[in-house]
């Protein structure tokens, strides 16, 4: 009986250690990957901004500008509106930089990528491709992790009405003010729909808004935390093709069902290798035996963690 209890105790202890290792991988290990990707994305975005500012490129100023008319009193001015000389640049391929978002209150300063797939959100906050870009008419939507991969939206729940959100795109710099905070079901994707200026006549256009989404509560994906904000300075650019009934799904945001079987297989393989390692060290208790078994077990365990992480929601 004592032998059985001792064996069970070792099994539970090992399982606890493996769970703690996975938690450490999720909370800290993933941050290293995102930090490296953000450095590369920042260089990419800064280069794109330099190219956009070169002579002959589209102007990056929106809204009315005031100029003095020669030959008139200094107080006499004419207000003109600066329009972009060219159409807005097309969005880059998924996973590449499209904007920079800053939220001073909670210390957010991240490069936003195009797309909200698992691979996209591992790099940083992701722009929903079926929504307009920030600074354009309509509801620009951005999703981000809350607890892993740098947790850019980890403190989103601290935002209150009136708080500032700054976004820089190739079209210019834009300021939004938080309007409200919502908690919805993961299936309630209508929160990223555009809001008509006149609900009775959508042909009049859409309000320039920004919606940020992440998982809620922390360490869970049972709900979505949503921050909605309104453009507070300058006039918005026209959106090139607002899709009123955009098909925006939870694909990539609620975990990959296709990774469940690979995760199970990888877990079994890791368990078998771990058992063989234990038998080898039990029969030959030498440091060489420990190293021989530790290397393949670590590799198998890492593969298992990778597939297991994919089963979790992408913005967890």
What are the tens digits of pLDDT across the range 272-303?
988 888 888 888 888 887 888 888 888 888 88
Residue 105 confidence (pLDDT) = 97
Q: Are 65 and 157 in contact (CB under 8 A)?
A: no
Cis (ω within 30 of 0) for the bond into 217? yes
SS3 state of residue 289: helix
SS3 state of residue 298: helix
Q: How far is CA 20 from CA 46, 90, 129, 278, 302, in A?
A: 39, 44, 36, 20, 13
For residues 98 and 126, give the distance between their C-alpha atoms in angstroms, rounded to a whole number: 9
Task: Give the total residue count for the chain.
Answer: 316
For residues 213 and 199, give the distance between their C-alpha atoms in angstroms, rounded to a whole number: 24
pTM equals 0.75
Residues of the chain where predicted confidence (pLDDT) is lower than 70: 4, 7, 54-88, 241-258, 313-316
For residues 294 and 27, give the distance between their C-alpha atoms in angstroms, rounded to a whole number: 23
Instruction: Report the DSSP beta bridge partners of residue 108.
Output: 103
Query: How much of the chain exceeds pLDDT 70, in percent?
Result: 81
Residue 81 confidence (pLDDT) = 41
Residue 235 confidence (pLDDT) = 80
User: CATH for 35-65+85-231?
Assistant: 2.40.260.10
Token pair, residue 223, equals 């709900």
Helices and strands counted in the chain (H then E): 5, 10
Q: How far is CA 102 from CA 62, 106, 149, 312, in A?
A: 19, 9, 17, 27
For residues 113 and 83, give the distance between their C-alpha atoms in angstroms, rounded to a whole number: 26
């Amino acid at each position: 009986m004592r032998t059985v209890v001792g064996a069970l105790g070792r099994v539970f202890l090992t399982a606890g250690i493996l769970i703690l290792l996975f938690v450490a991988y999720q909370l800290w290990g993933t941050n290293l990957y995102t930090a490296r990707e953000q450095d590369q994305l920042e260089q990419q975005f800064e280069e794109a901004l330099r190219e956009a500012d070169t002579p002959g490129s589209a102007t990056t100023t929106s809204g009315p500008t005031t100029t003095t008319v020669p030959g008139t009193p200094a107080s006499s001015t004419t207000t003109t509106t600066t329009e972009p000389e060219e159409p807005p640049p097309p969005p880059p391929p998924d996973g590449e930089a499209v904007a920079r978002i800053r939220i001073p209150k909670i210390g957010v300063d991240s490069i936003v990528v195009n797309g909200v797939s698992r691979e996209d959100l591992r790099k940083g906050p992701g722009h929903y491709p079926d929504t307009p870009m920030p600074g354009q008419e309509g509801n620009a939507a951005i999703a981000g992790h809350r607890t892993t991969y740098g947790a850019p939206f980890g403190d989103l729940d601290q935002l209150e009405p009136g708080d500032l959100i700054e976004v820089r795109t190739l079209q210019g710099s834009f300021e939004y003010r938080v309007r409200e905070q919502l908690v919805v079901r993961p299936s309630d994707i209508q929160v990223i729909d555009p809001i008509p200026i006149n609900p009775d006549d959508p042909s009049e256009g859409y309000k320039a808004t920004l919606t940020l989404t992440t998982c809620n509560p922390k360490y869970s994906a049972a709900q979505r935390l949503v921050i909605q904000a309104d453009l507070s300075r300058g006039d918005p650019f026209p959106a090139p093709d607002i899709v009123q009934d955009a098909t925006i799904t939870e694909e990539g945001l609620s975990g990959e069902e296709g990774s469940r079987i690979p995760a199970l297989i990888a877990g079994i393989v890791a368990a078998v290798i771990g058992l063989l390692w234990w038998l080898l060290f039990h029969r030959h208790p030498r440091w060489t035996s420990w190293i021989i078994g530790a290397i393949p077990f670590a590799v198998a365990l890492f593969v298992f963690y990778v597939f297991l992480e994919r089963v979790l929601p992408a913005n967890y």
